């Protein structure tokens, strides 16, 4: 936190539970110097402009703290990442439809996805499910993922 704060103000994004499509951007203005006993948390304060008056004192909000931004980062589904003796790895599908086990350096999670810092190139296809059936250098059959169903729709 302190390293990132020394580079400049840290950005926060705030959402209200009744309007998750809209984020209000602010910045961290205070960082406590002590870790709270029992919770392991650190207090901080952010200033958020409230021109539209949608934020109220005591209101519950969702807050995301942005430490840094990686441009053109590779994101893959978290379930694609496996852990072995050599570290984290994924199975990559080659152009000849064979699987290759590739060691990666995972980064921060972003919801259901994870940033890959090292080990993958843009456009490569990774195995999302069924890794127990995959044998390196053997042929695989690619089955596209089903599109997500809208919330509330029958499956």
pTM of the model: 0.62
Q: What is the DSSP letter of 150?
A: P
Q: What is the pLDDT of residues 14-51, one digit of tens each?
A: 998 888 888 999 998 888 888 889 898 888 889 999 88
Query: Residue 66 in contact with residue 2, Cβ under 8 Å?
Result: no
| Per-position b or e across 64-102, b if 16+ CB within 10 A of its CB | eeeeeeeeeebbbeeebbbeeeeebbbbbbeeeeebebb
> What whole-number distance in Å separates Cα of residue 65 and Cα of residue 82?
27
Domains and their CATH numbers in the chain: 2-66 (2.40.30.170), 74-133 (2.40.420.20)
**Helices (DSSP H) in the chain: which residue ranges?**
2-6
Burial category of 45 from C-beta neighbours within 10 Å (exposed 0-12, middle 13-18, buried 19 and up): exposed
Q: What is the pLDDT of residues 93-138, one digit of tens each?
A: 999 999 999 999 999 888 899 999 999 988 899 999 888 888 888 9
Structure tokens, 66 = 């942005």
Please determine, for residue 154, whether its predicted confidence score (pLDDT) is greater than 60. Answer: no
């Amino acid at each position: 936190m302190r390293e990132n704060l020394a580079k400049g103000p840290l950005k926060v994004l705030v959402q209200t539970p009744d309007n998750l499509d809209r984020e209000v951007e602010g910045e961290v203005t205070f960082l406590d110097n002590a870790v709270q006993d029992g919770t392991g948390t650190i207090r901080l304060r952010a200033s958020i402009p409230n021109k539209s008056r949608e934020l109220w004192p005591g209101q519950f909000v969702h807050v995301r703290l942005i430490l840094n931004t990686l441009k053109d980062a590779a994101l893959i589904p978290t379930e694609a990442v496996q852990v072995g003796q050599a570290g984290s790895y994924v199975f990559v599908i080659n152009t000849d439809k064979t699987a290759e086990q590739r060691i990666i350096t995972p980064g921060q999670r972003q919801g259901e996805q994870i940033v890959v810092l090292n080990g993958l190139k843009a456009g490569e296809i990774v195995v999302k499910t069924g890794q127990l059936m995959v044998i390196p250098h053997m042929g695989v059959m690619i089955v596209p993922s089903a599109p997500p169903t809208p919330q509330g729709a029958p499956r």
